[in-house]
Amino acid sequence: MAVSSAAVDQQEKTSAKAPASRPFSAFERVVAWRYLRARRKEAFISVIAGFSFIGIMLGVATLIIVMAVMNGFRTELITRILGLNGHVIVQTSDAPMNNYDELAKKFSTLPSVTMALPLVEGETLASGGSGSGTGALVRGIRAEDLEKLKTVAGNIKAGDLTGFAAGQGVLIGSRMAQQLGITVGDQITLIAPDGDITPFGVNPRVKSYTVSGIFEIGMSEYDASIIFMPLEEAQLYFNSEGVVQSIELFVTNPDDVDALRPKIEAAAGRPVNLTDWRQRNETFFSALQVERNVMFMILTLIVLVAALNIISGLIMLVKDKGSDIAILRTMGATSGSIMRIFFMTGAAIGIVGTLAGVLLGVLVCVNIESIRQFFSWISGTVLFDPQLYFLSTLPAEMDLSETITVVVMALTLSFLATIFPAWRASRLDPVQALRYE
């Protein structure tokens, strides 16, 4: 049935005089909901909307899960790194640090300082009974200070601290013990390049020690390279009698070390050089941050692809509903009302998909260890092997601000994707749409 142009023009004039409908009114919501429901002849459009919903849901869930796992990794690594190394390293610049006992007591009284550990460090070549050798970092520390270092003292896998406290043994990491083929009670030989000075030059210092304990911190690098030695023995071994190289301070809040610097300098009473944990591990933590940012941008593309599916689905819906739009316009619906109808249609897919993605992401993060064990059982292999990663469980730590960022980003992309199709629907000419009906 052909519709005359004059009749349509008359209807448009009548609708122009009608009062504008309230934005997102009940009428607009009802029409938008009817367009969301699948009909037999609109099955293809419904399939596209379904894929858009699934894409947004999986994209949001993947972003939340990956960010949570990376946060968990970062927390575990920081806990292990800062559990062994001090948050602030104090070194003197005017003369060797021979008053380390006095300085350690002063630093311990500072607010937020939990421990002050005098240390002597040196690199050596360690060898065992099998004849194999490996590089090692010897750390001389007092027995009472080592007991406070729960990262080590709380992770003794074999032996104990009795021999160490008596100055008759050393502690080595589990991977070093495996590599050298030694266990508690065996001898480990240390070779230091800076040894005794003779008329013929410097002879390497060679000395054997009894292994009194084996620790396992949980980081391969530390478990394979660090040897703890009683402080006085380390001073003798490295020709540093009566002095230490540094005092490492542990604080309650590692992120607030800048505020503590002036107090440390004042307590020292002599020129000192201060290095905090961020400076010592700047490259490592910068790499972690870059990796997190890159992963976030890459995974955002999943949500973007799903948002593009919303655009294609709405454009097809607008084309299919051209006559319906023309009839609504002739009945008094404004162009703004038509735009809001299709905006709500597309936005509903984005909102529901985002909420479902958040629910799925939280569910996976809460049960991620059970999921890992399930897939390990299905595949018959050990996923995330603790022997390689030294983490008994897969870590996942959700961050509220990151989750909100993901939700806002997904909703923004979904809303932006609906604007162009909704605008096209509002600009549809009723005369052209009904001319050949």
Model pLDDT, residue 181? 87
Lowest-pLDDT choice from 77-81, 155-159, 372-376? 77-81
From start to end of 145-245, where are the E strands? 156-159, 170-173, 187-198, 201-215, 226-230
pLDDT in tens, 165-221: 887 789 998 888 888 888 888 888 888 877 666 665 567 788 888 899 999 887 777
Whether 38 shows a pLDDT value over 70: the answer reads no
Lowest-pLDDT choice from 14-23, 208-217, 389-398? 14-23
Model pLDDT, residue 8? 41
Q: Residues of the chain with pLDDT > 90: what percent?
A: 8
CA distance 405 to 407: 5
Under the banding of pLDDT at 50, 70 and 90, the label for residue 27 is: low
Q: Which residue has the tokens 């739009």?
A: 325
CA distance 207 to 205: 7
How high is the mean pLDDT of the chain? 80
Model pLDDT, residue 437? 55
Whether 51 shows a pLDDT value over 90: the answer reads no
Model pLDDT, residue 380? 77
- DSSP state letters, 286-321: HHHHHHHHHHHHHHHHHHHHHHHHHHHHHHHHHHHT
CA distance 316 to 346: 12
Tokens of 419: 């604007």
Model pLDDT, residue 238? 87
Whether 42 shows a pLDDT value over 70: the answer reads no
Of residues 293 and 430, more confidence is placed in 293
Model pLDDT, residue 359? 94
Whether 20 shows a pLDDT value over 50: the answer reads no
Model pLDDT, residue 362? 92
Whether 252 shows a pLDDT value over 70: the answer reads yes
How far from 297 is each of 23, 66, 71, 303, CA to CA, in Å?
35, 12, 16, 10
> Of 284-293, 308-317, 377-386, 405-414, which one has max mean pLDDT?
405-414
Model pLDDT, residue 433? 55
Tokens of 13: 């004039």
Model pLDDT, residue 1? 39
Model pLDDT, residue 356? 92
CA distance 365 to 363: 6
CA distance 207 to 188: 8
CA distance 389 to 26: 56
Whether 358 shows a pLDDT value over 70: the answer reads yes
Model pLDDT, residue 196? 64
Of residues 80 and 64, more confidence is placed in 64
CA distance 430 to 227: 83
Tokens of 198: 């003779």
pLDDT in tens, 284-294: 778 878 888 88
Pairing of strands 133-141, 113-127: antiparallel
Q: Are 210 and 184 in contact (CB under 8 A)?
A: no
Degrees, nearest 5: CA angle 412-414-415 = 65
Q: Residues of the chain with pLDDT > 70: what percent?
A: 84
How far from 78 is each of 157, 281, 421, CA to CA, in Å?
22, 10, 48
Q: Which amino acid is at 191?
A: I
pLDDT in tens, 116-151: 999 999 889 888 866 678 889 999 999 888 888 888
Model pLDDT, residue 296? 84
